Structure 1
């Protein structure tokens, strides 16, 4: 099981009251579930409500999760394996004007 640095941005950081923390997990999903257990107010911001028979966690389409700068959508998604040197960034949608 890897010990990874998790960085939170924008409203995720504000809701959790912290910008980074260390969490353990074998895969991205493990770390995100641990994050939502530690900070329940983040759960609905990170995960969509499962529909129908599918009870597997699904990340919100507007959330980007990066491992060492690489979007998990271009890797193995929530099943991407982690190592101790990894940095996981969780970014909500950003708008500007």
Structure 2
């Protein structure tokens, strides 16, 4: 079973509003241009509402983005999960026990 998490993240980047994000170009926490330098520490800029951002820092998806990725792994289409999503695997497994 394969998860196309790269495509999931690209979807957030290319169309953040479709997933309820205000932006995918600025991280919620960081420093420098676009909050894109370094990992989040107490000294860095912090956004007022983390659910509006696709990325927490320069490297990690936000909690909301991770939740959407997990939803795709559990019940997404073959665009994201191949050959089937995890819920289908669990349903098939429960029929065999």
> TM-score of the superposition, structure 1-length normalised?
0.30
More helix by share: 2
RCO comparison, higher one (Cα < 8 Å, 6+): 1
The structure that has the greater radius of gyration is 2
